[in-house]
Structures are given as structure tokens and as C-alpha cells.
């Protein structure tokens, strides 16, 4: 190579170098990725390079300096936007962008306050390379030089690009075997193949999943059906039907984590009413219960509760698969003579709920138009929880009985803002405003639940109902670990992060006298079979991955959407096996059988959803339909 002519390529070199360095700094500062050894640090450092060499290297095909510079700057701007978008999403969701997320446009208008709370003035850093390149194009003489790159030089350049890709993949596969075939955790993918290559991989996965439905047939259900049948938990004879013919009220407690239950903050009780229920003779409180949501958050929780299947790992299943056939809990209860509905004071299109509720065969969606919402009774995301509970009970009073209704609370939603008159306790005193406010909004939701119980009694609905409450997902993400360490008084390791995914789960059966604290390791997947069995509904033919929590056959094993899991003895998090009792690292071999089982559960759930396989299944008989029956 003629080094005297090297300056002609200085814009290309500058673009690659500036984007590479910025991306690596972003990895270290904006994403909370656990780096455990020198090899992982090396992989993290080199993983943007193969993509950047290739995408910027396409400028070598341009024959004019103007076209070349324009291409490099436009590419640089697009990459800056992609990287910053991932940073913003990571702050809010503690996760990375997927292709389906980009099509959730009906949600964008409702994300206002939360999105603004995730943006900072210092974010201009993510566009410094853009500014640098524009200045370089304007002032560097080499940027204006016209040159023609010989084919041999281009070939050498792109061979180098491919070599970097194979080096990256080889090191990643050594560090994380079966990375591209068995990984359910996007953070692991980004950490090993880089943000930009991850997005290419995501596009491939989305294309593959769309093809799955077109090519699917009922034969794929055979293995899944055999797995479900062999892992069923037989209903407990004493608990089966204990709530038969009662109204069913299921409440989603927005962003409520279990660490607030029976706990104090600066000497103030955080959830006094929920605390009292943990000791109530009519209440089962599960103190080892986990959310199992992914990117869909609240909507994922709804999906899991209705179907006892995982949401997809590529986005909100409410968007990606709203046209599927499902065997929801609402559909089952329709068959038992229940009037099924959802109460939620938000726009019906948010999270694509109007479409998905139709797929679930929910008879009525009481959306924002069913409530009296004004400036005085709303805050942040919409109607405050106390007026929501009051108005919901009035609506319930008009429903045919028995009814099954789900209620979605709102106030305890990021960024956890509230009006002064709704602050029943003082804020926490860390340096983190999000965590400080969280205690106040979760305390307000507790007061709203107290009001709900009182109104149900006053309106004559309480005695003949069963009231189920669950936390839908975490409220405090890993971005706020410093403040949480201050509150909890201990370091937050991957083990502690997994344990912090515990959310409250209550089953309140008035006048039953059968309540107690339950210690089973359990999750949201278990709600459907547990509740249907309490109502006396047989689920032996249902394709569900959860199990009845009252069954003697229930296993202490819960899988997270990203492949982590918890058993009564082990916790697998951050690709490390921990002892559940001590929190200390233990022999990795102990976790290996459960890793395989967790991945198998996720794969089966994905097969059902991506292939829309329930259209081939007759839930009444438990048999596969013929292709002719499916097309009717």
C-alpha cells in the first residue's frame, strides 16, 4: 500500500475509530453488562469492529469524494441513532431494542413522561462522533480528494472485515457455547457479538419466526403435548373447587416488587394493608413468587396469566402474535358461564389490547371511555388507583354474575410521580429520585387496594368473590442498584438481582378460613392452573406450562424469560450457579440439568406461539386437529 496516499482514507478511518470508541464507552457506561474475565472484556472491545469495517467500508465503492463523504456521514448518523435508541430503551426497559418493538407505535403517545425521564442533557455525547465527522469533512483536505480504490485493495479490506467477524464469533462461541442457537438473553448477545451485529441477528430471527407460522403443522405439537402431559401437577382434592361459582377479581399491581411487603422505609410501613393480608385467615400469600415477563412488561404478565405460556423473547407478544389462536383462561371461564372482562383506564389500543383481548375471547374491555377521568383524579399514566378502584366496583355491580374480571392499576408506574395529597409516607432519602418516589407510589397503591376491599364489601360483592393480586413486573431496574444497595444494606449481585424479581402474589377467598403463607418457588405461569383448579375447572387437556401451586406435585422451579431460573436450592443468573440459601457461587454442574430444562420450556413456548400451534389443538379432547379441521 502507498502510505503517501493513506491520508485519502482518513475520513473512513476516523469514522470507524470514532464510532468504535464511542460504542465501547457506551458499553461500559450506559449498559449494566457483567464482565467477569479478560476474555469477555476483549470480546466486548472488538465486537463492534467487524460490522463497522463492513458498513463504512462500502464507501470504498464510491468514485467521488462528495458521494463517499455523504454516505459515511449518513451511516454515522444512523448508527448514532441506533446506539442512542438502545441506551434510552435500556434505561426504561433494562433491555435492548427488538424489531417488533419498533412497530409498537400505538404506545409511543402514552410513553411521554417515562421517555422524557430517561433522557439527559449529557446524551449529546452519543452524537459527538457525528459532529467530529462533519467537521473533518469540512476542514480536512484529504476529505475532498478524489481517489479510486483498486479491486485488490477492496478485497483485502473486506477479507479483514470477515476475519474480524470470525474472530469475534470464535471467541464468543468459546466463551458462550451455542450462543446463536440457545441464547434467550439479549444482553448476552450484545455482550458477545455487539449492538450492531445483534440487530442483524434480530432481523434474521424475526424473519425466521414469521416463516415458522406459514410452515407449521400439527405434528409439531406432539412433542410439546407429551412434555406438558408428563409434567402436569394433579389438583389437590381439598382445594379443587373451593371457590367454585364465585366471582373472580384479578388485580395487576403495577411495578410492585415483593421487597416492599412486610417491610419499612425510614420507620414507615410501606404496604400496611397488604401486610395485614399476609396474616389474614382467608388469604394465601406466596412469598417466593416471581414475575416471568420480558419486553412486554405488563402486557406480558397479562399474557402469562391468561395462557400459562411465556411471552416472546423478541418483543411484546401482544404485538407480535395478536392474530394467533389461544386457549385463554377467559375462554375457559366463558365456557363455565362466566362474564369475562378487563378494567383498565387507558386507551384500548395501548399494547394492542383491543386486538389481543379479542384473541383471548374476553367479552368486554372497559377502557378509558368507561371511566370518568379528569385533571383532578389522574396523574402520570392516567386515572389514579383509588378512583379507579371506586369506579371499577361500580362497573362490577352492573356485570352479570358470576363474572371474571381483570383490573390493571396504573399509579405505581415509572417515573413514580404522585400528587402531594396522595403521598401517605415521606420519600426515601437516597440520591436517586426514582427510588425515592417509588416508595410513595407503591404506598398509594396499597391504600387503593384497601379501598377496593371496603367498596366490594359495601356493594355486596365481597363475600361471593375470590380476589387474586399479583405484581406484574419489577419496578426498580438495575440502573438504580446503588440506591437499592443503600436501602437493602447489601451489594446487589446477579444473585440478588434475580431474587429481586420476586413480586407479591395473593389469593384471598373470603370466609374460607384456609389461608396461610406459602413458600413454594413459583411464578406467574402458575396462576392460570392454580386459579382454574380453585374454581373447579379441570385443566388436564390444556396446554399450559405452569402448575397448580396447591398440588403436591408442584415443583419448586421457576424459569425467567431470559433463561435464568430459581429452584428451592439453586439460582442461575449471570451465567453463574448460586446456592439459593447462602447466595454464594456453587458448582456449575448442579445447575446444568435445570439450564437444559429451562431452555426446553422456553423453546416449547416459542414453538407454540411462533407457529400458532394451538390452532391445531382441540382443548376439549386434548387431541390434535386434522389440517382440514384447522382450516374450517
Which of 356, 362, 385 has the alpha carbon at shortest distance from 443?
385
Contact 271, 261 (CB under 8 A): yes
> CA triplet 463, 552, 505: central angle to 5 degrees?
45
CA gap 308, 341 in Å, rounded? 18
97 Cβ neighbours under 8 A, 6+ residues apart:
82, 85, 86, 89, 199
Joined together, the cell numbers standing for residue 216 give 407449521
Q: How far is CA 539 from CA 79, 320, 328, 406, in A?
A: 49, 27, 11, 20
Question: What are the backbone angles phi and psi of residue 46, rounded to the nearest 5°?
Answer: -90, -15
Question: What are the backbone angles phi and psi of residue 506, rounded to the nearest 5°?
Answer: -120, 140
CA gap 456, 585 in Å, rounded? 48
Residue corresponding to grid cell 361471593: 464
Give the pairing of strands 576-579 and 570-573: antiparallel
Which of 453, 467, 308, 472 has the alpha carbon at shortest distance from 403?
467
State the SS3 of 284-307: EEECCEECCCCCCHHHHHHHHHHH
State the SS3 of 289-357: EECCCCCCHHHHHHHHHHHCCCCCCCCCHHHHCCCCCCCCHHHHHHCCCCEEEEECCCCCCHHHHHHHH
Residue corresponding to grid cell 450492531: 196
**CA 494: distance to chain centroid?**
17
586 is catalytic: no
Question: What are the backbone angles phi and psi of residue 285, rounded to the nearest 5°?
Answer: -115, 125
CA gap 138, 76 in Å, rounded? 16
CA gap 261, 435 in Å, rounded? 16
Catalytic position from the list 26, 195, 283, 298:
298
Instruction: Tell me which long-range contacts 127-130 makes (C-beta under 8 A, separation of at least 24).
Output: 127/80, 127/84, 128/18, 128/22, 129/15, 129/18, 129/19, 129/22, 129/76, 129/80, 130/73, 130/76, 130/77, 130/80
Which of 54, 77, 56, 62 has the alpha carbon at shortest distance from 132?
77
CA gap 464, 401 in Å, rounded? 10
CA gap 319, 322 in Å, rounded? 6
Just list the catalytic residues: 298
Amino acid at each position: 500500500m502507498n502510505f503517501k496516499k493513506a491520508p485519502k482514507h482518513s475520513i473512513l478511518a476516523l469514522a470507524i475509530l470514532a464510532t468504535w470508541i464511542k460504542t465501547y464507552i457506551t458499553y461500559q457506561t450506559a449498559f449494566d453488562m457483567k464482565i467477569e474475565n479478560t476474555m469477555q472484556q476483549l470480546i466486548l472491545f472488538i465486537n463492534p469492529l467487524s460490522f463497522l469495517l463492513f458498513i463504512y467500508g462500502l464507501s470504498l465503492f464510491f468514485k467521488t469524494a462528495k458521494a463517499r463523504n455523504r454516505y459515511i456521514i449518513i451511516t454515522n448518523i444512523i448508527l448514532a441513532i441506533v446506539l442512542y435508541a438502545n441506551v434510552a430503551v435500556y434505561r426504561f426497559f433494562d433491555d435492548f431494542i427488538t424489531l417488533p418493538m419498533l412497530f409498537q407505535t400505538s404506545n409511543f403517545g402514552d410513553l411521554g413522561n417515562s421517555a422524557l425521564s430517561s433522557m439527559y442533557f449529557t446524551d449529546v455525547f452519543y452524537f459527538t462522533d457525528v459532529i467530529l465527522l462533519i467537521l473533518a469533512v469540512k476542514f480536512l483536505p484529504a476529505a475532498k480528494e478524489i481517489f479510486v480504490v483498486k479491486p485488490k485493495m477492496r478485497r483485502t479490506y473486506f477479507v479483514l472485515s470477515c476475519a474480524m467477524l470470525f474472530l469475534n464469533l470464535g471467541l464468543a462461541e468459546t466463551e458462550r457455547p451455542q450462543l446463536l442457537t440457545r441464547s434467550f438473553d439479549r444482553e448476552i448477545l450484545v455482550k458477545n457479538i455487539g449492538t450492531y451485529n445483534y440487530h442483524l441477528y434480530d432481523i434474521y430471527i424475526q424473519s425466521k419466526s414469521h416463516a415458522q407460522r406459514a410452515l407449521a403443522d400439527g405434528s409439531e405439537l406432539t412433542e410439546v403435548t407429551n412434555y406438558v402431559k408428563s409434567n402436569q401437577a394433579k389438583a389437590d382434592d381439598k382445594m379443587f373447587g373451593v371457590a367454585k361459582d364465585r366471582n373472580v377479581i384479578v388485580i395487576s399491581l403495577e411495578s410492585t416488587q415483593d421487597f416492599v411487603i412486610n417491610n419499612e422505609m425510614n420507620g414507615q410501613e410501606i404496604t400496611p394493608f397488604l401486610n395485614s393480608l399476609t396474616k389474614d385467615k382467608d388469604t394465601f400469600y406466596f412469598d417466593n413468587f416471581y414475575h416471568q415477563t420480558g419486553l412486554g412488561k405488563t402486557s406480558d404478565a397479562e399474557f402469562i396469566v391468561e395462557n400459562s405460556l411465556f411471552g416472546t423473547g423478541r418483543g411484546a407478544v401482544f404485538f407480535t402474535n395478536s392474530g394467533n389462536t389461544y386457549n385463554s383462561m377467559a375462554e375457559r371461564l366463558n365456557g363455565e358461564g362466566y362474564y369475562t372482562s378487563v378494567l383498565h383506564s387507558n386507551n384500548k389500543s395501548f399494547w394492542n389490547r383491543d386486538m389481543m383481548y379479542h384473541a383471548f375471547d374476553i367479552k368486554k374491555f372497559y377502557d378509558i371511555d368507561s371511566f370518568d377521568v379528569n385533571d383532578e383524579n389522574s396523574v402520570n399514566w392516567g386515572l389514579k388507583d383509588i378512583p379507579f378502584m371506586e369506579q371499577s366496583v361500580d362497573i362490577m355491580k352492573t356485570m352479570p354474575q358470576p363474572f371474571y374480571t381483570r383490573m390493571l392499576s396504573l399509579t405505581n408506574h415509572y417515573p413514580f410521580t404522585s400528587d402531594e395529597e396522595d403521598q401517605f409516607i415521606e420519600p426515601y432519602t437516597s440520591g436517586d429520585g426514582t427510588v425515592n418516589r417509588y416508595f410513595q407510589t407503591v404506598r398509594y397503591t396499597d391504600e387503593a387496594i384497601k379501598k377496593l376491599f371496603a367498596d366490594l364489601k359495601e356493594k355486596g360483592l365481597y363475600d361471593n368473590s375470590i380476589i387474586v393480586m399479583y405484581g406484574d413486573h419489577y419496578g426498580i431496574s438495575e440502573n438504580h442498584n446503588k440506591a437499592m444497595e443503600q436501602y437493602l444494606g447489601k451489594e446487589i449481585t446477579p444473585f440478588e438481582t434475580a431474587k429481586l424479581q420476586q413480586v407479591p402474589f395473593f389469593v384471598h377467598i373470603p370466609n374460607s378460613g384456609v389461608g396461610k403463607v406459602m413458600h413454594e418457588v413459583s411464578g406467574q405461569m402458575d396462576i392460570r392452573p392454580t386459579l382454574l383448579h380453585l374454581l373447579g375447572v379441570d385443566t388436564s387437556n390444556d396446554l399450559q406450562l405452569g402448575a397448580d401451586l396447591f398440588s403436591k406435585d408442584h415443583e419448586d422451579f421457576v424459569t425467567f424469560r431470559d433463561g435464568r431460573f430459581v429452584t428451592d436450592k439453586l439460582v442461575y443468573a449471570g451465567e453463574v450457579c448460586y446456592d439459593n440459601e447462602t447466595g454464594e457461587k456453587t458448582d456449575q454442574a448442579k445447575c446444568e440439568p435445570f439450564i437444559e430444562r429451562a431452555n426446553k420450556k422456553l423453546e416449547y413456548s416459542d414453538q407454540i406461539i411462533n407457529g400458532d400451534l394451538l390452532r391445531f389443538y382441540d382443548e376439549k379432547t386434548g387431541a390434535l386437529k386434522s389440517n382440514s379441521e384447522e382450516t374450517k
